[in-house]
Protein backbone atom coordinates (compact mmCIF):
# COMPACT_ATOMS: atom_id res chain seq x y z
CA UNK A 1 0.00 0.00 0.00
CA UNK A 2 1.29 3.42 -0.94
CA UNK A 3 2.02 5.82 1.93
CA UNK A 4 -0.10 8.95 2.28
CA UNK A 5 1.08 12.53 2.34
CA UNK A 6 1.10 14.27 5.72
CA UNK A 7 -1.71 16.77 6.22
CA UNK A 8 0.63 19.09 8.11
CA UNK A 9 4.28 18.23 7.47
CA UNK A 10 6.85 19.23 10.06
CA UNK A 11 9.96 18.61 7.99
CA UNK A 12 10.09 18.72 4.18
CA UNK A 13 13.14 17.70 2.16
CA UNK A 14 13.77 18.98 -1.36
CA UNK A 15 16.29 17.15 -3.52
CA UNK A 16 17.37 19.33 -6.43
CA UNK A 17 21.09 19.65 -7.06
CA UNK A 18 21.28 21.62 -10.29
CA UNK A 19 21.27 23.74 -12.39
CA UNK A 20 21.32 27.51 -11.78
CA UNK A 21 18.27 28.21 -13.89
CA UNK A 22 16.36 25.26 -12.52
CA UNK A 23 16.95 26.13 -8.87
CA UNK A 24 15.72 29.65 -9.61
CA UNK A 25 12.58 28.16 -11.14
CA UNK A 26 12.10 26.00 -8.04
CA UNK A 27 12.14 28.85 -5.50
CA UNK A 28 8.44 29.78 -6.04
CA UNK A 29 7.54 26.21 -5.02
CA UNK A 30 9.55 26.65 -1.83
CA UNK A 31 7.76 29.93 -1.13
CA UNK A 32 4.39 28.26 -1.73
CA UNK A 33 5.24 25.52 0.77
CA UNK A 34 6.30 28.16 3.29
CA UNK A 35 3.02 30.06 2.90
CA UNK A 36 1.01 26.88 3.43
CA UNK A 37 2.99 25.56 6.40
CA UNK A 38 5.04 28.39 7.93
CA UNK A 39 5.98 26.18 10.87
CA UNK A 40 7.55 23.45 8.71
CA UNK A 41 11.29 23.00 8.41
CA UNK A 42 12.50 22.89 4.82
CA UNK A 43 15.82 21.23 4.04
CA UNK A 44 17.09 21.62 0.49
CA UNK A 45 19.79 19.22 -0.71
CA UNK A 46 21.56 21.24 -3.38
CA UNK A 47 24.69 21.40 -5.52
CA UNK A 48 27.73 23.40 -4.50
CA UNK A 49 27.52 26.11 -7.17
CA UNK A 50 23.77 26.40 -6.83
CA UNK A 51 24.14 26.90 -3.10
CA UNK A 52 26.49 29.84 -3.67
CA UNK A 53 23.67 31.46 -5.65
CA UNK A 54 20.85 30.81 -3.16
CA UNK A 55 22.75 30.97 0.14
CA UNK A 56 20.73 32.93 2.68
CA UNK A 57 17.34 32.05 1.19
CA UNK A 58 15.00 32.76 4.08
CA UNK A 59 13.49 29.82 5.95
CA UNK A 60 15.56 27.18 4.15
CA UNK A 61 18.25 24.91 5.59
CA UNK A 62 20.72 23.85 2.91
CA UNK A 63 22.69 20.63 2.77
CA UNK A 64 25.35 20.91 0.07
CA UNK A 65 26.47 18.04 -2.13
CA UNK A 66 29.51 18.61 -4.32
CA UNK A 67 28.95 16.46 -7.41
CA UNK A 68 32.69 16.18 -8.00
CA UNK A 69 33.00 14.10 -4.80
CA UNK A 70 30.94 11.29 -6.28
CA UNK A 71 29.86 8.38 -4.10
CA UNK A 72 32.29 9.36 -1.35
CA UNK A 73 30.48 12.68 -0.99
CA UNK A 74 27.14 10.88 -0.88
CA UNK A 75 28.29 8.79 2.07
CA UNK A 76 29.38 11.95 3.89
CA UNK A 77 25.98 13.52 3.29
CA UNK A 78 24.17 10.36 4.43
CA UNK A 79 26.13 10.38 7.69
CA UNK A 80 25.28 14.06 8.18
CA UNK A 81 21.57 13.26 7.85
CA UNK A 82 21.66 9.84 9.55
CA UNK A 83 19.50 10.99 12.45
CA UNK A 84 17.05 12.95 10.30
CA UNK A 85 13.76 11.48 9.11
CA UNK A 86 11.76 13.70 6.80
CA UNK A 87 7.98 13.69 6.68
CA UNK A 88 8.20 13.97 2.91
CA UNK A 89 11.02 13.97 0.36
CA UNK A 90 10.32 15.90 -2.84
CA UNK A 91 12.66 14.27 -5.33
CA UNK A 92 12.81 16.98 -8.00
CA UNK A 93 15.97 15.99 -9.91
CA UNK A 94 15.60 13.70 -12.91
CA UNK A 95 19.08 12.18 -12.89
CA UNK A 96 20.34 8.80 -11.79
CA UNK A 97 22.98 10.39 -9.55
CA UNK A 98 20.32 12.23 -7.59
CA UNK A 99 18.19 9.09 -7.36
CA UNK A 100 21.12 7.14 -5.93
CA UNK A 101 21.71 9.97 -3.47
CA UNK A 102 18.05 9.77 -2.43
CA UNK A 103 18.47 6.13 -1.36
CA UNK A 104 20.48 7.15 1.69
CA UNK A 105 17.89 9.67 2.89
CA UNK A 106 15.22 8.69 5.41
CA UNK A 107 11.69 9.82 4.58
CA UNK A 108 8.18 8.63 5.38
CA UNK A 109 7.08 9.25 1.80
CA UNK A 110 8.97 10.04 -1.42
CA UNK A 111 7.41 12.09 -4.19
CA UNK A 112 8.71 12.17 -7.76
CA UNK A 113 7.72 12.90 -11.34
CA UNK A 114 4.99 11.06 -13.16
CA UNK A 115 6.21 8.30 -15.45
CA UNK A 116 5.81 10.36 -18.62
CA UNK A 117 8.04 13.16 -17.33
CA UNK A 118 10.51 11.05 -15.36
CA UNK A 119 13.98 10.49 -16.82
CA UNK A 120 16.58 7.90 -15.84
CA UNK A 121 13.74 5.81 -14.34
CA UNK A 122 13.35 8.41 -11.57
CA UNK A 123 9.76 7.30 -10.89
CA UNK A 124 11.06 3.95 -9.66
CA UNK A 125 12.86 5.65 -6.76
CA UNK A 126 9.68 7.29 -5.44
CA UNK A 127 6.35 6.13 -4.03
CA UNK A 128 3.97 8.92 -5.07
CA UNK A 129 4.03 10.86 -8.31
CA UNK A 130 2.83 14.26 -9.40
CA UNK A 131 -0.18 14.36 -11.69
CA UNK A 132 0.51 14.06 -15.42
CA UNK A 133 0.49 17.34 -17.30
CA UNK A 134 0.74 18.07 -21.01
CA UNK A 135 3.59 20.32 -22.15
CA UNK A 136 4.39 22.21 -18.93
CA UNK A 137 6.99 24.87 -18.36
CA UNK A 138 9.81 23.78 -16.04
CA UNK A 139 8.53 26.11 -13.32
CA UNK A 140 5.05 24.61 -13.56
CA UNK A 141 6.47 21.11 -13.23
CA UNK A 142 8.07 22.13 -9.95
CA UNK A 143 4.83 23.71 -8.75
CA UNK A 144 3.07 20.41 -9.41
CA UNK A 145 4.88 19.00 -6.36
CA UNK A 146 3.26 21.65 -4.17
CA UNK A 147 -0.11 21.04 -5.79
CA UNK A 148 0.10 17.33 -5.03
CA UNK A 149 0.67 18.18 -1.38
CA UNK A 150 -2.46 20.32 -1.34
CA UNK A 151 -0.83 23.74 -1.38
CA UNK A 152 -3.22 26.53 -2.28
CA UNK A 153 -2.49 28.57 -5.39
CA UNK A 154 -0.94 31.98 -4.83
CA UNK A 155 1.40 34.54 -6.39
CA UNK A 156 4.82 33.50 -7.61
CA UNK A 157 7.43 34.71 -5.14
CA UNK A 158 11.21 34.55 -5.14
CA UNK A 159 12.79 37.11 -2.78
CA UNK A 160 16.32 36.00 -3.57
CA UNK A 161 18.92 37.19 -1.05
CA UNK A 162 21.47 39.69 -2.42
CA UNK A 163 23.98 40.97 0.16
CA UNK A 164 25.19 44.57 0.23
CA UNK A 165 28.70 43.45 -0.74
CA UNK A 166 27.27 42.07 -3.98
CA UNK A 167 25.77 45.46 -4.84
CA UNK A 168 29.14 47.06 -4.18
CA UNK A 169 30.74 44.53 -6.52
CA UNK A 170 28.18 45.23 -9.23
CA UNK A 171 28.45 49.01 -8.84
CA UNK A 172 32.19 48.90 -9.38
CA UNK A 173 31.60 47.14 -12.69
CA UNK A 174 28.70 49.20 -14.01
CA UNK A 175 29.84 52.60 -12.79
CA UNK A 176 26.30 53.33 -11.62
CA UNK A 177 24.91 54.47 -15.00
CA UNK A 178 21.94 52.72 -16.66
CA UNK A 179 22.91 49.61 -18.57
CA UNK A 180 21.77 46.47 -20.35
CA UNK A 181 23.18 43.04 -19.50
CA UNK A 182 24.06 40.52 -22.20
CA UNK A 183 25.12 37.07 -21.04
CA UNK A 184 26.13 35.69 -24.45
CA UNK A 185 27.04 32.08 -23.62
CA UNK A 186 25.36 29.10 -22.05
CA UNK A 187 27.19 26.35 -20.17
CA UNK A 188 29.94 24.59 -22.08
CA UNK A 189 28.59 21.09 -22.71
CA UNK A 190 28.94 18.49 -25.42
CA UNK A 191 26.62 19.24 -28.35
CA UNK A 192 25.06 22.13 -26.44
CA UNK A 193 24.44 24.51 -29.34
CA UNK A 194 22.64 27.34 -27.54
CA UNK A 195 24.94 30.28 -28.27
CA UNK A 196 24.13 33.06 -30.72
CA UNK A 197 26.78 34.86 -32.80
CA UNK A 198 29.04 37.65 -31.57
CA UNK A 199 28.06 39.62 -34.68
CA UNK A 200 24.39 39.38 -33.77
CA UNK A 201 25.01 40.57 -30.23
CA UNK A 202 27.18 43.42 -31.54
CA UNK A 203 24.25 44.68 -33.62
CA UNK A 204 22.10 44.73 -30.50
CA UNK A 205 24.80 46.52 -28.49
CA UNK A 206 25.04 49.23 -31.14
CA UNK A 207 21.28 49.64 -31.20
CA UNK A 208 20.87 50.09 -27.46
CA UNK A 209 23.87 52.43 -27.36
CA UNK A 210 22.61 54.69 -30.16
CA UNK A 211 18.83 54.44 -29.71
CA UNK A 212 18.46 53.98 -25.95
CA UNK A 213 21.64 55.47 -24.52
CA UNK A 214 22.47 52.29 -22.62
CA UNK A 215 25.85 50.73 -22.19
CA UNK A 216 26.03 46.95 -22.33
CA UNK A 217 27.63 44.90 -19.57
CA UNK A 218 28.81 41.47 -20.74
CA UNK A 219 28.58 38.73 -18.13
CA UNK A 220 29.47 35.06 -17.94
CA UNK A 221 31.82 32.54 -16.41
CA UNK A 222 35.54 32.29 -16.75
CA UNK A 223 35.79 29.55 -19.38
CA UNK A 224 38.09 30.11 -22.34
CA UNK A 225 35.11 30.04 -24.72
CA UNK A 226 33.22 32.71 -22.80
CA UNK A 227 36.27 34.95 -22.55
CA UNK A 228 36.95 34.51 -26.26
CA UNK A 229 33.37 35.40 -27.19
CA UNK A 230 33.51 38.44 -24.90
CA UNK A 231 36.71 39.70 -26.47
CA UNK A 232 35.36 39.11 -29.96
CA UNK A 233 32.12 40.92 -29.16
CA UNK A 234 33.94 43.83 -27.53
CA UNK A 235 36.16 44.23 -30.61
CA UNK A 236 33.08 44.50 -32.84
CA UNK A 237 31.49 47.31 -30.78
CA UNK A 238 32.06 51.03 -30.55
CA UNK A 239 34.55 52.13 -27.89
CA UNK A 240 32.76 52.92 -24.63
CA UNK A 241 29.58 51.01 -25.47
CA UNK A 242 30.62 47.77 -23.74
CA UNK A 243 31.83 46.81 -20.27
CA UNK A 244 33.31 43.33 -20.42
CA UNK A 245 32.73 41.69 -17.03
CA UNK A 246 32.93 38.08 -18.22
CA UNK A 247 34.63 35.99 -15.56
CA UNK A 248 34.80 38.94 -13.16
CA UNK A 249 31.79 38.47 -10.88
CA UNK A 250 30.75 36.17 -8.08
CA UNK A 251 27.30 34.61 -8.44
CA UNK A 252 25.89 37.02 -5.86
CA UNK A 253 27.61 39.89 -7.66
CA UNK A 254 26.05 38.71 -10.91
CA UNK A 255 22.65 38.68 -9.20
CA UNK A 256 23.14 42.27 -8.12
CA UNK A 257 24.33 43.29 -11.57
CA UNK A 258 21.30 41.66 -13.19
CA UNK A 259 18.98 43.19 -10.61
CA UNK A 260 20.17 46.69 -11.52
CA UNK A 261 19.94 46.21 -15.29
CA UNK A 262 17.36 47.82 -17.54
CA UNK A 263 17.02 44.44 -19.25
CA UNK A 264 18.88 41.17 -19.76
CA UNK A 265 19.48 39.29 -23.01
CA UNK A 266 20.68 35.69 -22.89
CA UNK A 267 20.29 32.30 -24.55
CA UNK A 268 18.95 29.31 -22.64
CA UNK A 269 21.15 29.68 -19.57
CA UNK A 270 21.03 30.31 -15.81
CA UNK A 271 21.35 34.13 -15.80
CA UNK A 272 18.14 34.44 -17.85
CA UNK A 273 16.25 32.72 -15.02
CA UNK A 274 18.15 34.71 -12.40
CA UNK A 275 16.88 37.85 -14.12
CA UNK A 276 13.35 36.46 -14.21
CA UNK A 277 13.53 35.74 -10.48
CA UNK A 278 14.56 39.33 -9.78
CA UNK A 279 11.83 40.82 -11.96
CA UNK A 280 14.33 42.24 -14.44
CA UNK A 281 12.92 42.43 -18.00
CA UNK A 282 14.39 39.42 -19.79
CA UNK A 283 14.72 38.58 -23.46
CA UNK A 284 15.64 34.94 -24.12
CA UNK A 285 17.05 33.64 -27.39
CA UNK A 286 15.74 30.19 -28.37
CA UNK A 287 16.28 27.89 -31.32
CA UNK A 288 17.68 24.65 -29.92
CA UNK A 289 15.28 24.47 -26.95
CA UNK A 290 11.56 25.18 -26.77
CA UNK A 291 10.86 28.52 -25.06
CA UNK A 292 7.37 27.36 -24.14
CA UNK A 293 9.10 24.92 -21.79
CA UNK A 294 12.26 26.78 -20.80
CA UNK A 295 12.04 30.56 -21.41
CA UNK A 296 12.18 33.01 -18.48
CA UNK A 297 8.71 32.37 -17.06
CA UNK A 298 7.48 35.92 -16.53
CA UNK A 299 8.83 37.08 -19.91
CA UNK A 300 7.87 34.20 -22.20
CA UNK A 301 6.03 36.53 -24.57
CA UNK A 302 9.29 38.38 -25.27
CA UNK A 303 11.42 35.35 -26.10
CA UNK A 304 12.82 35.25 -29.62
CA UNK A 305 11.52 31.90 -30.82
CA UNK A 306 13.27 30.22 -33.76
CA UNK A 307 12.61 26.77 -32.32
CA UNK A 308 9.80 25.78 -34.73
CA UNK A 309 11.97 26.81 -37.66
CA UNK A 310 14.93 24.84 -36.27
CA UNK A 311 12.81 21.73 -35.70
CA UNK A 312 11.62 21.95 -39.28
CA UNK A 313 15.05 22.66 -40.78
CA UNK A 314 17.15 20.15 -38.85
CA UNK A 315 14.72 17.49 -37.60
CA UNK A 316 12.41 17.71 -40.62
CA UNK A 317 9.35 17.73 -38.41
CA UNK A 318 6.89 20.19 -36.93
CA UNK A 319 6.89 21.12 -33.25
CA UNK A 320 3.74 19.03 -32.76
CA UNK A 321 5.58 15.96 -34.04
CA UNK A 322 8.50 16.02 -31.58
CA UNK A 323 8.58 15.17 -27.89
CA UNK A 324 8.09 17.99 -25.40
CA UNK A 325 11.57 19.06 -24.40
CA UNK A 326 13.18 17.80 -27.62
CA UNK A 327 16.41 19.67 -28.33
CA UNK A 328 17.77 20.55 -31.73
CA UNK A 329 21.40 19.54 -31.52
CA UNK A 330 22.74 21.27 -34.61
CA UNK A 331 25.53 23.82 -34.71
CA UNK A 332 23.67 26.06 -37.17
CA UNK A 333 20.35 26.21 -35.35
CA UNK A 334 20.95 29.48 -33.48
CA UNK A 335 21.91 31.19 -36.75
CA UNK A 336 18.19 31.14 -37.57
CA UNK A 337 17.81 33.99 -35.06
CA UNK A 338 18.14 37.33 -36.87
CA UNK A 339 19.45 40.52 -35.29
CA UNK A 340 16.44 42.51 -36.52
CA UNK A 341 14.10 40.13 -34.70
CA UNK A 342 16.06 40.47 -31.46
CA UNK A 343 16.12 44.27 -31.74
CA UNK A 344 12.38 44.40 -32.42
CA UNK A 345 11.64 42.23 -29.38
CA UNK A 346 14.01 44.29 -27.25
CA UNK A 347 12.37 47.56 -28.28
CA UNK A 348 8.97 46.09 -27.43
CA UNK A 349 10.25 44.87 -24.08
CA UNK A 350 11.79 48.22 -23.19
CA UNK A 351 8.61 50.04 -24.24
CA UNK A 352 6.48 47.65 -22.19
CA UNK A 353 8.60 48.24 -19.09
CA UNK A 354 9.22 51.94 -19.68
CA UNK A 355 7.77 52.87 -16.29
CA UNK A 356 10.45 50.79 -14.58
CA UNK A 357 13.15 53.06 -13.13
CA UNK A 358 16.27 53.34 -15.29
CA UNK A 359 18.71 54.16 -12.54
CA UNK A 360 21.42 51.55 -12.70
CA UNK A 361 23.10 50.73 -9.42
CA UNK A 362 23.22 53.86 -7.31
CA UNK A 363 24.52 54.38 -3.78
CA UNK A 364 21.01 53.65 -2.53
CA UNK A 365 20.84 50.17 -4.11
CB atoms within 10 A of CB 131: 8
Say what the pLDDT of residue 188 is: 67
Average pLDDT, the chain: 94
Query: Roughly how many angstroms between the first and final C-alpha of the chain, as a whole number?
Result: 54
User: Is the pLDDT at 360 greater than 80, yes or no?
Assistant: no
Question: Rounded mean pLDDT of 267-274?
Answer: 97
Looking at per-residue confidence, does 362 or 33 come out higher? 33
Per-residue pLDDT tens digits for 7-31? 999 999 999 999 999 999 999 999 9
Say what the pLDDT of residue 192 is: 78
Under 8 Å between Cβ of 206 and 169: no
User: Is the pLDDT at 364 greater than 50, yes or no?
Assistant: no
User: Is the pLDDT at 365 greater than 60, yes or no?
Assistant: no
Write the DSSP assignment of 224-292 as a string of letters.
HHHHHHHHHHHHHSPTTSEEE-TT---HHHHHHHHHT-S-EEESSSHHHHHHHHHT--EEEEESSS-HH
User: Is the pLDDT at 296 greater than 70, yes or no?
Assistant: yes
Q: Domains along the chain?
A: 11-148 (3.40.50.2000), 164-352 (3.40.50.2000)
Under 8 Å between Cβ of 24 and 276: yes
The model's pTM? 0.94
Say what the pLDDT of residue 101 is: 98
Question: Rounded mean pLDDT of 315-331?
Answer: 95
Q: What is d(CA 145, CA 179) in angstroms, rounded to the nearest whole number?
A: 38
Q: What is d(CA 68, CA 81) in angstroms, rounded to the nearest whole number?
A: 20
Categorize the per-residue pLDDT at 359 as very low, low, confident or very high, splitting at 50, 70 and 90: very low
Amino acid sequence: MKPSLPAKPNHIAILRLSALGDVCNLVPTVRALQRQWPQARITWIIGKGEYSLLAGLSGVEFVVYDKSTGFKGMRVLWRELADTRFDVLLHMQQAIRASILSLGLKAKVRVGYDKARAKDAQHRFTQLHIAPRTNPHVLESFMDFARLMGVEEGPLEWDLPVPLAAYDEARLISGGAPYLVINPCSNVRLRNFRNWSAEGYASVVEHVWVQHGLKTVLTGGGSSLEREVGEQLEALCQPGSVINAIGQTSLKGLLALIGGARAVIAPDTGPAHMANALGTPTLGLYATTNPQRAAPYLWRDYAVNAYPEAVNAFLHKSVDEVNWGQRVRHADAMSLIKADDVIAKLDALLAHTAAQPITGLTDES
